[in-house]
Every structure is written in C-alpha cells, then in structure tokens.
Chain A
Amino acid sequence: MALPPHVSTGPSAAPARQPVYALVGNPNCGKSTLFNALTGLKQKVGNYPGVTVEKKIGTTYSQHGQPITVIDLPGTYSLAARSPDEAVTRDVLLGRRADTAQPDRILCIVDATNLERNLYLVHQILDLGRPVILVVNMMDLAAQAGLTLRLARLEHELGLPVIACEAVHGRGLIELKLAMSRPDLPLSRHAWDVPAAIAPAVAELQASLTSNDRKSPLIARAEALLLLTDQDALRVAGSTPLCPRTVEILESWKKRWAAEGTDWAGTLVASRYEAIGHLATAVIQTSGTAGPTTSDRIDAVVTHQLWGWLVLGGVMTLLFLSIFTLAETPMNWIDDQAAALSTWVKHAMADGDLRDLITAGVIGGVGGVVKFLPQILILYFFIGLLENTGYMARAAFIMDRLMSRVGLNGKSFIPLLSSYACAIPGIMATRTIEEPKDRLVTILVAPLMSCSARLPVYLLMIAALVPGDRVPLATKVVIMILMYALGTFGAFGFAWLFKRTLLRGAPPLMIMELPPYRLPRLRDVALHMIERAWIFLRRAGTVILGISIVLWFLSAYPKAPAGVTDQQQLAQSFAGRAGHALEPIIKPLGFDWQIGIGLISSFAAREVFVSTMGVVFNAEAKDDDTTPLRQAMLNAKWPDGRSLFTPLTCFSLMIYYVFAMQCMSTIAVVKRETNGWEWPVFQTFYMTGTAWILSFIVFQAGRALGF
C-alpha cells in the first residue's frame, strides 16, 4: 500500500521525559475499565479549566518499571465533537489545550463486538500522525456473538500494534504494557484516499492552516478534515479563532459545493466507512447468525412499556431504602465518635474560647457533615453499579418518555439522578448533553433535586415535627418522600417552563447507545466510590471546616459583658445581628432571627444548617450539654412565649430548603459551566424566590386554617 505523503516510516523519536499516552475510544467500549486496570489507585482526578469535564490522569509502569502517564479522555464516537466532553477529547488530541500537553502516543480502545463503528474514530485518529496502539477489547463477547477477528490481518493492514484484550478479566494487559514500553512505535501504514471532490479543498486548507495558523503539517491535515466533517467550523476551531484567510477558503469551498449539490460532510463520512468496510471484510468473520443474546432477553423486560417502569420503580425504591436504612448504623457511629472526641477535648483542655472553638466549632461543625459520608457512599455505589451493568442507559431510555413531555430528553435523567446525591456531579454529568439549551435547562433545574446535603435538614425537621421519641418509621418516610417528590416535580415543572419561555428550542434529537448488559466490576465501582468520598471529605475538611470556624467566631464575638446569658451573648454577636436584620423578611415564613442565622450560614452549604442550629441552640442549653438538639429546638420560643418550631414552621422550613439555592459550591460550578455570572445569579434568584413564595403560602395558609 502506498504511503500518504504525510506519513513517514521512521520510528518516532523516543521522548526524553515521561511518555504520555492518551486513552481514547467510543463510549461503552470498556475504556474506564482499561484505565483502572492500567493505573489502579495511581489516579488523579481534576478538571479541565474552563469546563467541568473531569480530567483523569494516571500512572502505569513499563516492563522496566519506568513510569508512563496515561490521560483518560472522555468517550466519543468522532473527533467532530458535539458536546463539551467530546470537545475536550478533540482538543487534547490536537494539542489545542494549553493546560494539557499533546500526548506523545495514543492508545485507541475498540469494542470487538462492534469493530466497524469503533474503527471510525480510529480512522480519524490515524490522521493525526501520532504513534497509535490499538486495543481490541471484549474479545470474549465477540467470540460469544460468533465473531472471529483476524487481528494479525488488522495489524498488517494498519501497520500498528494490535492487542487483543479483555480488560474486565485483566487479559492482554501484559502484552499491552509490553507494547507501551517499546521505545519506538511505527506510524500507521493505513492510507485512505480523500474523495476526489474534496481532496483539493483539504490540500488548500492544510496549506493555509500550516502557513497562516502555524499548525504542524500533520495536525493541519487532520484539522482540515475536521473542518470539513463538522458543519459548524467555528465549533471545530474551538477557543482559538482561525485565521480569516482559512475561514475564507473554507467558506468559498462550501459555497461551491452547495452550488454543485455536493454533500461534502456526508461524502467524507461515507468514504471513511468505505475504507473501514474493506478492512472489516478482511478482518471479521461471522459464523452464522446468533439468536437473541442475553442482553436482548433482559431488554425485552427492562425496556418494556409496563415492566420497564416497574423495574425502574423497584430499583429507585431499593436505592432510597438502602440510603435510609443501611447508612443508619455507620452514621450513628460517626456521631458517637464525634461526641466522644468532643468530650475528651473538654476534659483535656482548660475552659476558654479555644476549647469552645474546637468542640463547638470544629468537631461539631465538621462532624455534623462527615456523618453523611455513609449515605453518599451508598448512593455512589448504586450509581456506579447501574452504570457498570449498563442499566443506567435503560433507565434514561424509559425516562425519556416522561422527560420528553417537559421538553428534555433521557440524557438529562443521569444528571438529575446524580443530583439526588449532590448537584455538583449532576451538573458535571450534563456535559454529555449535546444541545446547549437542553444542557442549560438541566443545569438550572438539577439543584432542585433533593441532594444529600438537604437530608440532615429534613431529618432534623422531621424529628422536630413529629413529637415523641418513638416515631413510627412510616410517618418519617412519608414526609421524606413528600419532600423528594416536591423537589422532583419542581424540577420537572421548571424545566417545562424554561423550555417554553427562556430557552425555547426544537424537540431534542436524542441518539443514545444502550450497551450490552455486563456483570458489574466491583473494583471499578469501588474506585468510583473512593474518588467521590475523597472529594466529599476534602470539601468537609476545607470549605465546611472554614465555615464552621467563621460561624463559631461570628456567634462568639463581639463578647458581651460578663454575666449575661448565652442567649443574650448570641443575640448581640455578629451572627445574631445578621439574623435580626433578616428577621423582617423571613418572619412571614414563620422563621425568627435564630433560624435566620442558620439560613445565612447554610447559604454556603445546606448541611451547615444543622451544625449552626447545634451552635445556636446549644448556646441556649445552659450547662446541660446532653440535651439533644431536637429537645433544645422544641424548647425554643418566640419572645411572646409561643413555640418557635411548631409543626407548621418545620414544614415551611423544609419547603424552603427544597427550593432555595443554598449552596455556594453549586453556584461556583454553574458559573464555570455557563461561562459567566448571568445564569448562576438567575438560578439563585428563581430558586430562592420560589422557596420564599411557597414557604409563605404554606405558612400563611396553615395559620389561616388554624394549624
């Protein structure tokens, strides 16, 4: 086969620094499993600046023990990106991102059961002229499906190392590491002829990109092909605008083709598929037609009009039951440990401000938040399991019927489900939604899903709402479900409203692959859980610790003259003054200045409300440290002697927390995601405004009805 002019046969220069491999592949081809198998716990999860796409970097070792960096890039079907995470893959591979060095070598992973489609991306990547190792994963599943792959032939045709692999079972990893350890890798010998109608344009664009945009010739050719594959040249160009001359050339060719009736983009795709088709015919042998697979049989039930809903309902019920029941014991344990630590400090230290800061501020504040770790772990365990088995895509498929009624598509389901744990990963998960308006609507409504940070507030309010120590579990659960339902319906309602007003758009064109069912790989699920737990603990150790200390300071200073009661001290502290200032606004909702302190402090993070109430009301609890917070709250009164935490107030407060935007981290993520303050500010106002109005209606109507 003749070599194209852009490819040299010489071995690439062995990089002096630690070699960097980029791992790329289609979604659902086992990329994450391979990444985990290669790097184990040696992973670093960060963010690409400017977008909330996760940047996963790990280290693996060559056969000689030399470290090799592996960047796990988001899965994509094509380099012509349609969503922000796909754009990251494209930009890293093209060396456009200043924050990530262009990878030296590329590890392309393909699904053996669907080689033809997976080779499309490989085909585009070969144009980049970098050394590539091709990993053909899921060889076992291909064999089960009656497919025989002649990989030696594929290796010969492409001229690059092809490794058969079963990442789930760890098979093929040694061969892969051996290939990765090679100091030199050949460049692909696979050439394809750009269709005659398009070739002159590619050459002209390549020349302009080289001379005017200062791209290296190989990258320039790949960019030229991309500019012609994607209908929207500006999107392809990304953040660095193209030189006007290049744009001019592109536009003149497009005009010419439009006049001739040439579908250039379609022609390019078809021509790549033609080349891949020849390759596939030589490589893939099908032995008879296999009957319905196990996945097909499971899908017959799971995606059924009726059974599908029942299965989804069952899974969701199991998820929430587990969160509430299984987490109880470890949560109580963490609570006890925090209390024991606090008691120990009280005995070990002399009375004073520092002791108060450590016990009430640090241990009370951070402990009150860290105890939610078990629930967060359970939620991520389920999300990890659902994604790992392939069920998550089915859930999105079933939910699409419902979501399409409010103008969203099934892809918004995963972000919204994740938001039950925390809106931040939920908002980050919106990066897979291609349509910018749908993505924005999902971001705007995601924080309405009751996240785990609201749980402590609900639990505290339910404890205060339902009197008596032995409350039937059913009552608690019903109130809890009511709050979750309120948030969920709120999210759907606002999505419907936004899609009809602010962010009007065509019905979503969703296309989503449903991967075959697989047995979950617990190692991957566990890694995912550890990663999330660490992010949560880091937040508790930094943001929440800081807030707890600041809050303690605000409620302890300025010092009142000696001899006044703790309540008088609090009333004249900075926090008390802020609460008092807020009282006229929140009094119609049934809240006093002490709750006002909680609302202000929990603007940073909702769960801080509980620790604040701890600080606020323990201050009133005189010497009796063992009085549970609930009891202290029930004893709290308005100045005229009425109870503060009446059932109606508790209800109003819960409704406030369902809707109000009380999370600085979410605001920060939305700001980063939407590239400006406009949307996070709008979101804060619409959510907190709705919260105020609904709490007002509930409290005033309740009062009028005599509650």
Chain B
Amino acid sequence: MSRPPFDSRIPLCQLAAGATGRVCALTGDAHFCQRVREMGFGESAYVTKVSGSTTILCQVNGTRIALSHAAASSILVEQLGNLGPQKG
C-alpha cells in the first residue's frame, strides 16, 4: 500500500458526514487498535461517516459502528469523497 501524503490523512472524527475514507493508520492504545483491526476496521478498510461530532456513527462493510470521540480521533483516514466504494 502506497502511503498517501501526510496532509491528506485526517482523523475519522474530522471526516465530513456522508464522506467516505480509507483507513490508513491506527494510533494510540494497542488493545484498542487490535480490536479495531479484528472488527474488520483495520488499515485499508473503507469507512463512511454517517453522522456525529462528539460520538461518531459510521458504516464499515455494511455494519454500523459507533465510536467515542477519542476512539475516532485515533483512526486516521484518507478521504475519498462521496463516491467511494460502499457495501450494504
């Protein structure tokens, strides 16, 4: 996977509602990263943000997932716009 330029990576909490991004890095707590990956939310997964600013609601592989703000800010995504591939 080619690493995107640093400035295109934003935390999931900053992704606009309705926009799709690809997860490029997980930062922070190791246990949390592990669980996020195990839930299929790891690097290269596509995520669509549904709504939320304090608590984030997003869609990954057709599943709705809620994340606390702190959790969402440790997931870095590369924004793909509204036309990204979606399942479900």
Binding site for B on A (CB under 8 A): 77-78, 80, 82, 113-114, 116-117, 120, 145, 229-232, 265-266, 269-270, 273, 286, 289-290, 293, 295, 299, 303-305, 393, 396-397, 400-401, 404, 409-410, 434, 506-516
Contact = CB atoms under 8 A, between A and B. Distances in A.
A329 B74 CA distance: 53
Interface string B53-88: 011010001111111111100100000000000111
A397 B66 contact: yes
Contacts of B68: 400, 404, 409-410, 507-511
Contact of B61 (A114, A396, A506): A114
A117 B37 contact: no
B40 to A, nearest CB: 4
Contact of B55 (A117, A404, A434, A516): A404
Nearest to A276: B40
Contact of A509 (B29, B39, B41): B29
Contact of A232 (B31, B57, B88): B31
A401 B69 CA distance: 9
Contact of A269 (B34, B66, B86): B34
A555 to B, nearest CB: 52
A396 B65 CA distance: 12
B73 to A, nearest CB: 9
A5 B61 CA distance: 34
A145 B87 CA distance: 9
Interface in B11-42: 28-42
Contacts of B55: 397, 400-401, 404, 410, 510
A120 B30 CA distance: 19
6 contacts: A120-B40, A269-B42, A273-B42, A397-B57, A508-B68, A514-B64
Given A305-B51, A508-B68, A511-B67, 5 more contacts: A82-B31, A393-B66, A397-B55, A410-B66, A434-B35
B55 to A, nearest CB: 4
Given A270-B42, A299-B50, A511 B34 contact: no
Interface of B: 28-43, 50-52, 54-55, 57, 61-71, 74, 86-88
A116 B38 contact: no
A229 B87 CA distance: 28
A264 B38 CA distance: 14
Contact of B39 (A117, A305, A393): A117
Contacts of B71: 508-511
Contact of A400 (B28, B34, B66, B74): B66
Contacts of A116: 40, 61
Nearest to A265: B34
B34 A299 contact: no
Nearest to A295: B64
Contacts of A304: 51
A229 B38 CA distance: 10
Given A113-B88, A509-B28, A509-B32, A120 B64 contact: no
Nearest to A293: B88
Contacts of A401: 54-55
B57 A269 contact: no
B1 to A, nearest CB: 11
A32 to B, nearest CB: 19
Contact of A513 (B42, B50, B63, B70): B63
Contact of A512 (B37, B62, B65): B65
A511 B39 contact: yes
**Chain B, interface SS category:** mixed
Contacts of A273: 40, 42
Contact of B38 (A120, A397, A512): A120
A77 B38 contact: yes
Nearest to A146: B88
A77 B34 contact: no
Contacts of B69: 404, 507
Contact of A511 (B35, B61, B62): B35
B64 to A, nearest CB: 4
B37 A269 contact: yes
Candidate in A80, A265, A510 with the most chain B CB atoms within 10 angstroms: A510
Contacts of B38: 77-78, 80, 120, 269
Contacts of A295: 64
B54 to A, nearest CB: 5
Q: Give 9 nearest A-B pairs by CB, closest first.
A: A510-B68, A507-B70, A514-B64, A117-B40, A400-B55, A231-B30, A509-B71, A78-B38, A269-B37
Given A145-B88, A410-B55, A510-B71, A266 B66 contact: no
A230 B30 CA distance: 9
Contact of A299 (B29, B42, B43, B64): B64
Given A78-B35, A120-B38, A269-B42, A511 B65 contact: yes
A515 B64 CA distance: 7
A401 B66 CA distance: 11
A510 B42 CA distance: 16
Nearest to B68: A510
A265 B62 contact: no
Given A145-B88, A269-B38, A114 B62 contact: yes
A110 to B, nearest CB: 13
B65 A514 contact: yes
Candidate in B29, B37, B61, B68 with the most chain A CB atoms within 10 angstroms: B68
Contacts of B43: 266, 270
B34 A231 contact: yes
Given A270-B37, A397-B55, A509-B32, A117 B66 contact: no
Contacts of A78: 35, 38
A269 B67 CA distance: 21
Contact of B86 (A289, A299, A512): A289
A80 B67 contact: no
A516 B64 CA distance: 8
Given A80-B38, A400-B66, A511 B33 contact: no
Contacts of A509: 28-29, 32, 68, 70-71, 74
B30 A511 contact: no
B88 A404 contact: no
A113 B68 CA distance: 25
Contacts of A232: 31
A515 B62 CA distance: 10
Nearest to B28: A509
A77 B62 CA distance: 16
B29 to A, nearest CB: 6
A514 B52 CA distance: 14
B19 to A, nearest CB: 16
A513 B87 contact: no
B34 A230 contact: yes
